[in-house]
Structure 1
Amino acid sequence: MADINDTGAKRFAHLFSPVRIDSLELANRAVVAPMTRTSAGQDGVATDQMASYYARYARGGFGLIITEGTFTDTRYSQGYFQQPGIATEAQAAAWQPVVDAVHAEGGVIVAQLMHAGAQSQYNAYADENAAPIARAPYGRTATIYHGNNEPYNTPKAMSETDIIEMIDGFVASAKNAMQVGFDGIELHAANGYLLDEFITDYFNTRDDDYGGALGNRLRVIREVITAVRDAVGTDFCVGIRLSQIKVTDTDHRWASAEDAATIFSTVAAAGVSYIHVTGAGATEPAFSDNGPSLAELASEHGGVAVITNSALHDVQAAEAQLAEGGAHLVAIGRGALVNADWPARMANGQDQTEFDKDMLQPLATLDNQAGWEAGRTDIFEPLPKSGG
């Protein structure tokens, strides 16, 4: 891990102070946000290129690294072509070099576990998607992640057996993550993927105990958290990511601050180690012009560590969030993508490399490494070139 300049650390005292989240001892409050990279093998196996990619964040000084969304079973969970999985023995084993590379650089890494639900645009294991109800998401599949800009398919409505098997997939994947040395897991319940679909009023109109009122819509998440916590024990970090917006619906908002309070208190009571909020309202007033942000509501009603993610690559904004905004850690996405040494740069008073949209391209499809080269510093080695 990069040395953090003492002067910079004092200047941004909140950002560069250590923090503990259950079993995690973090050197600072800077987190690499989970970002879709679709750079695994076609069988969902993590690659050497991914090990290099994640290790550079540890080398650059980030206190915590959260992986891209990783699918959890060999039925309906996969969302993207070349998305990594952690469902099979081979997929789990392939993460070992990634974890080892991060640990060798002094880093801490958490695996984000994801079931794509109705937003799946590629699944090698099934010919259909599965969701709370048979309703297609808004929008079209994303070409940047190998989609064809076509409307999403209408998914099958999940049976209770499907739900039980989905929960079992999260449990098995969490155990796989722990076995290969991850420092924790994060449940992806944001951005319109399956767990978020169960929360969403218009996407969960089921007439059983899993649908209808908010308390019922939260049942699946409660059961996933409880089952995972029982499987991994009390000392392993289990986080959750939540958002109002979705990949396919950036206008969606929860009904009220009261509903947000219910969501945050429910997941905390079920046993999460931290709550990670992102998207609309994460750092700004969420439900009124002068009301609290999601981070503040999560801190008030969750009583656990809060990570917030929303354009916080401006170090002054990041420091302000930690000092005043209810968050205990800040997650950096695009800013980290182009400045893998963002913490070291901020502490040393260096400028950030300007964001290049080409950096959003999946690693495995980047024939031209100019974007990566532009974001390099002397502490990084170039990623291996890909034949695409």
Structure 2
Amino acid sequence: MSVQGSHSALEPGRIGDLRTANRLVVAPMTRVSAEPDGTATPEMAAYYTEFARGGFGLVVTEGIYTDSAYSQGYLNQPGLVSARNAAAWRDVTGRVHEAGGLIVAQLMHAGALSQGNPHRDGTAGPSAVKPQGAKMPEYGGSGPWPVPREMDSADIEEAVAGFVASAVNARDAGFDGVEVHAANGYLLDQFLTDYTNLREDSYGGPVANRVRLTAEVVEAIRAEVGPDWCVGVRLSQTKVNDFHHRWPGGVHDGEVIFAALADAGATYLHIASEGRNWIETAELEGGLTITGQARRVTGLPVIANGGMHDAELSAQVLGDGHADFVSVARAALVNPDLPRRLAEGGRLERFDRTLLEPMVTLDNARRRRRVLEAKV
């Protein structure tokens, strides 16, 4: 963990109007620990506050569902679709701010990868294509994914409206911004992906059409919240059900995707590496990296993800200009004070897969960490 001298991730940063204490970001992690109606709990407030107290410059929440139609992906997933949801999140954001942190709400529509939605029977996606793989048992699923219903224009309008309404709810709940989840195989990524999007309308075909829905979501949110509030976008090539996927057009696809989202009004881009680390997913032809290309094309702040708890790797990514920030997921679960450990040259506690199980109470998480510490 330790590196010589002051680590570049500890330097202050800026994302739009947000000034961060450092360049370390908590990546979104599914916890499915909300109430059945999607309301955040006091335990969730304590969970997020712990990262702020640990010194992270920015916290991105787990995916929050955006409407009472097809967006919810898991039972006990948090939402931002009601006044009760927003009021509970207000307690979370207030406590994070009191601890000196910043917090962004990740807005997520699961699309065809929904495995727990009490609002609708069945799923909906860009095309009637059966998703690869199987549902995730750690989040309450089992068996193969069903074939989704192909979304019509009314479904698409409903999905966009849900993103916008949830963004407004997030702003009113005290969040410092939102992150539009267009990664990891969920709805917006399903539209972006060639083999899940077989449409022949303006949302299908070439990559400029397949990124259209994500751009429309960002543009619609921006029109509602104004020019200065933070509206990020999370992207990935890999997915929760396909660790090997890459954008088929490579550098060309990246040029089109990144430019479209910048033009739509994105504040930052967060490039994820689902199931892989940055080294395995970042390299493009011509010596480019996907995060470096995003910076070059857009001029926006870029967050790199995937193995960034490794101090040497994160120093390289930041120092060589591949990204402006780095996000940490699993290592943050067992090391919520990772920024302080990095500053002091301390070692990280070892990760244990039991920490990926849904967090029911903060006491459970603390007990797990004590067990891990006893093993070291």
Range of TM-score over shorter length: over 0.9
C-alpha displacement of 1:291: 2.3
The residue aligned with 2:368 is 371
* Aligned 1:33-182 pairs, distance under 5 A: 33-148=27-142, 150-182=143-175
Q: What is the CA-CA distance between 1:213 and the residue it aligns to?
A: 1.2
**What is the TM-score normalised by the length of structure 1?**
0.91
Moved more, 361-370 or 60-69: 361-370
What do the CA deviations read for 1:171-216 (whole angstroms, capped 9, x no partner)?
Answer: 0000000001000000000000000001001111101111111111
The residue type equivalent to 1:183 in the other structure is: D
Mark the CA change 1:16 to 1:366 in structure 2 (over 3 Å): closer, same or farther. closer
Moved more, 257-266 or 77-86: 257-266
Secondary structure, counterpart of 2:314 in structure 1: helix
- For 1:281 and 1:315, locate their aligned partners in 2 and report how far apart those are by CA, in whole Å: 14
* TM-score between both structures, scaled by the size of structure 2: 0.94
Distance 1:234 1:367 in 2: 41
Shift in Å at residue 284 of structure 1? 5.2
TM-fit CA distance, 1:124: 1.0
What whole-Å deviation, never above 9, does each CA across 1:293-316 have from its counterpart, x for those lacking one? 211111111210000001111122
Number of residue pairs matched by the alignment? 369
Instruction: For 1:22, give the aligned amino acid.
Output: G
Q: Secondary structure at the match of 1:103?
A: helix
The letter of the residue matching 1:340 is P
Give the unaligned 5+ runs of structure 2. none
Q: Per the alignment, in what secondary structure is the counterpart of residue 363 of structure 1?
A: coil
**Equivalent position of 1:231 in the other structure:** 224
1:348 is the counterpart of 2:347? no
Q: What do residues 227-273 of structure 1 show as CA deviations (whole Å, max 9, x unaligned)?
A: 00001111110000000011111111101111111111111111100
Q: Give the superposed CA RMSD.
A: 2.0
Question: Distance between the aligned counterparts of 2:88 and 2:11, measured in 1?
Answer: 33
2:104 maps to a residue whose letter is V
Equivalents in 1 of 2:94, 2:279: separation in Å?
33
Structure having the larger proportion of residues in helix: 2
Report the alpha carbon displacement of residue 290 of structure 1 after superposing the two structures with TM.
6.4
Instruction: Note if 1:14 corresponds to 2:11.
Output: no
Contact 2:125 2:190 survives alignment (8 Å): yes
Aligned residues: percent identity? Answer: 48
1:372 deviates by: 3.3
Please tell me whether the aligned partners of residues 72 and 87 of structure 1 are also in contact (alpha carbons under 8 angstroms).
yes
* CA apart distance, 1:373: 3.0
CA contact (8 A) 1:116 1:193 kept: yes
CA distance in 1, matches of 2:336, 2:130: 36
User: Is residue 80–residue 146 contact of structure 1 (8 Å, CA) maintained in 2?
Assistant: yes
